[in-house]
Amino acid sequence: MRMTSQRSIILDEIRKTHAHPTADEVYVLVRRRLPRVSLATVYRNLDVLTRAGLIRTVELGGCPRRYDGRVDDHIHVRCLECGRVDDVADALLARARSRVEKVSGYSISGHHLEFAGVCPDCQRRARGRRRRKNAES
């Protein structure tokens, strides 16, 4: 794998943010430093970097993929209101994995765990909206 300037800038941008950007968002970030970059190049390199283990692809059912500069084991929590994705470290995962391996007979090589709910910010916002609504009536 050649480390081209496009590739290293894409890697750098993903490592700099903790916002789990989509390919499109990475494209915007990268274009600030490399205005003539192609969207195809972004997709290609997100794939290559994932295969190389330098970043993680976060597959979220039903919505566009997101990319993550953290490659250690962790769980994602997605907000159903605003779409934001946060990280949670967890040790239960390894135990669940070995259990699943034993019960199913599969040879497990990866997992995908995501909890979905409403993030603290949106909970606050929702409480605010409710209060205002009650005040009106």
Partner DNA sequence: CATGCGAATGATAACCGCTATCGGAACGGC
Partner DNA sequence: GCCGTTCCGATAGCGGTTATCATTCGCATG
Residues that bind DNA (CB under 7 A): 1-7, 22-24, 34, 36-41, 43-45, 47-48, 62, 64-65
- Give the number of other Cβ atoms within 10 Å of residue 30's Cβ: 21
Site string for a copy of itself, 83-122 (x = CB under 8 A): ---x-x-x-xx-xxx-xxx-xxxxxxxxxxxxxxxxxx--
CA distance 88 to 27: 26
71, 20 Cβ separation under 8 angstroms: no
Chosen from DNA, a copy of itself, none, partner binding at 99 (C-beta under 5 to 8 Å by type): a copy of itself
19 binds a copy of itself, rule: CB under 8 A: no
56, 66 Cβ separation under 8 angstroms: no
35 binds a copy of itself, rule: CB under 8 A: no
- Using CB under 8 A, pick the residue from 32, 40, 62, 134 that binds a copy of itself: 62
Chosen from a copy of itself, DNA, none, partner binding at 98 (C-beta under 5 to 8 Å by type): none
48 binds a copy of itself, rule: CB under 8 A: no
- Is 92 or 135 the residue whose CB approaches a copy of itself more closely? 92
Minimum separation from the CB atom of position 54 to DNA (A): 13
Nearest to 65 by CA among 74, 55, 73: 55
38, 30 Cβ separation under 8 angstroms: no
Minimum separation from the CB atom of position 4 to DNA (A): 4
* Interstrand relation of 85-88 and 56-58 (parallel, antiparallel or unpaired): unpaired
CA distance 71 to 17: 14
